[in-house]
Amino acid sequence: MAEDRAFLLLIVVVSLLFAWILWPFAGAILWGIVLAVVFAPLQRRFARSMGGRRTAAALATLAIIVVIVILPLTLIAASLVDQAAGVYKRIQSGELSVRGYFHQIYSGLPGWITSVLDRYGLTDLGAVQERLSAGVMAASQVLATQAISVGQSTFDFLVSLFVMLYLLFFLLRDGDDLAARIKRGVPLRDEQHKALVEKFTVVIRATVKGNVVVAILQGALGGSIFWVLGIRGALLWGVVMGILSLLPAVGTGLVWVPVAIYLLATGAMWQGMILIAFGVLVIGLVDNIVRPILVGKDTRMPDYVILISTLGGIAIFGVNGFLIGPVIAAMFIASWDIFSTARHGKMR
């Protein structure tokens, strides 16, 4: 008995040390696992068509992932950094002035709105302007820091990309064998293990297909309408809208609504009306139409759970948290469902 406890302690310590070693590449490992889960059906289809040659099937799947995922994201990231640096230079030179835009919006407001502001003592907007200016300057400093660090961290990025692709190849080729070994090692009953694995797989695929695809669509649509209307930094704002679309209820409206208000307030009436119509009828409906088709009703969590878990995941894990947060929330719900089912089964 003492030997068993000592061996269990050894397993825990060694596992923690192993996780510590892998932590610098946690993001690469995470996305390697995610892509392996998402593209596993394609790899199996290739394996069947290639007579069971898993290595060739894994290589073919990996090539497709590089072409349709890695290369486009790399090109978008490079263009995004360029536009972000341009926005920073415009802020530094004074060409982009938050105070100027704020005054333009305020001067273009209808009389009844300004009278309401007068009534509540909100016409003295100096403090608001100062906060907005400070916020924009802080954001510009972040953009500058990130633009500079991109060149400095190119080697780290390439190493992480290599680790992800290398791991992804073996997960695609040997994923079924690895899953069987994990199943033998995890101290759970078969039905519990099966339920958790199925929930994990479904949530990963649903999150990637639902959230990521919808984010790409909404970001692309938002960036496109900004480009058509002649709004500078269309790619940058499109990426921002894509990221914000991960948040239920608010989403892309945090970007296009203020821009539409600015256009209306500064006399660009038809541009503002077009942006509002496009935002409501096209961008807004993508989430309500496309997401249910991609995710399905059975895998959908309440919007408040998605919102809180996404924000919490981003706060703790950074950009990877938009995936980690909902997955942890889904596994939490699934674990308690399994526990509740088992407990009620014993009570009968």
Across the range 16-29, mean pLDDT stands at 87
Instruction: For 152-174, write each residue's pLDDT tens digit.
Output: 466 777 888 889 999 999 998 88
Dmax (CA) for the chain in angstroms is: 82
Give the span between the Cα atoms of 64 and 70, in whole angstroms. Answer: 9
Mean pLDDT of the chain: 75
Query: Which pLDDT does position 243 carry in this prediction?
Result: 76
Instruction: For 123-146, write each residue's pLDDT tens digit.
Output: 554 555 555 555 555 555 555 555
With CA atoms as reference, report the closest residue to 61 among 173, 179, 164: 173
Token pair of 179 as six digits: 């899953």
- Give SS3 for 297: coil
Query: Which pLDDT does position 95 carry in this prediction?
Result: 59
Token pair of 102 as six digits: 């704020």
Query: Which pLDDT does position 80 carry in this prediction?
Result: 67
Query: Which pLDDT does position 158 carry in this prediction?
Result: 81
105, 265 contact by CB (below 8 A): yes
Token pair of 332 as six digits: 């939490």
Query: Which pLDDT does position 256 carry in this prediction?
Result: 84
Across the range 276-290, mean pLDDT stands at 81
| The amino acid at 171 | L
Residue whose structure tokens are 């920073």: 88
Token pair of 216 as six digits: 């790409």
Cβ burial of 345 (10 Å; 0-12, 13-18, 19+) is: exposed
Instruction: Give the dihedral sign, CA 230/231/232/234.
Output: negative
Helix, strand, coil percentages (3-state) for the chain, rounded to 5, are 85, 0, 15
Query: Which pLDDT does position 206 carry in this prediction?
Result: 73
First to last CA, the chain: 33
State phi, psi for 103 to the nearest 5 degrees: -65, -40
Apex 163 CA angle, 173 and 64, nearest 5: 50
321, 313 contact by CB (below 8 A): yes
276, 245 contact by CB (below 8 A): no
Does 196 score more than 70 pLDDT? yes
Query: Which pLDDT does position 63 carry in this prediction?
Result: 93
Query: Which pLDDT does position 195 carry in this prediction?
Result: 72
Across the range 239-251, mean pLDDT stands at 74
Instruction: Look at 301 and 225; give whichever has higher pLDDT.
Output: 225
| Percent of the chain's residues with pLDDT above 90 | 5
31, 164 contact by CB (below 8 A): yes
Query: Which pLDDT does position 208 carry in this prediction?
Result: 74
Give the span between the Cα atoms of 348 and 346, in whole angstroms. Answer: 6
| 20, 146, 311, 70: CA torsion to nearest 10 | -70
CA distances from 51 to 78, 88, 108, 168, 210 (A): 40, 55, 69, 21, 32
Query: Which pLDDT does position 71 carry in this prediction?
Result: 86
Does 347 score more than 50 pLDDT? no
Instruction: For 260-279, write each residue's pLDDT tens digit.
Output: 887 887 777 888 889 889 88
Query: Which pLDDT does position 62 carry in this prediction?
Result: 92
pTM for the full predicted model: 0.68
Query: Which pLDDT does position 64 carry in this prediction?
Result: 93
Query: Which pLDDT does position 142 carry in this prediction?
Result: 53
Token pair of 233 as six digits: 């930094």
Give the start-end residues of each E strand in 48-197: none
Query: Which pLDDT does position 60 carry in this prediction?
Result: 93
Across the range 237-252, mean pLDDT stands at 76
Across the range 18-33, mean pLDDT stands at 87
Query: Which pLDDT does position 141 carry in this prediction?
Result: 53
Instruction: For 54-102, write each residue's pLDDT tens digit.
Output: 889 999 999 999 998 888 877 777 776 666 666 666 666 665 555 555 5
Token pair of 255 as six digits: 């970007």
Give the span between the Cα atoms of 20 and 187, in whole angstroms. Answer: 23
Instruction: Give the dihedral sign, CA 316/320/323/324.
Output: negative
Reported as a pLDDT band with limits 50, 70 and 90, residue 115 is low
Using left for φ > 0, alpha for ψ between -120 and 50, and beta otherwise, residue 52 falls in left
Cβ burial of 290 (10 Å; 0-12, 13-18, 19+) is: middle
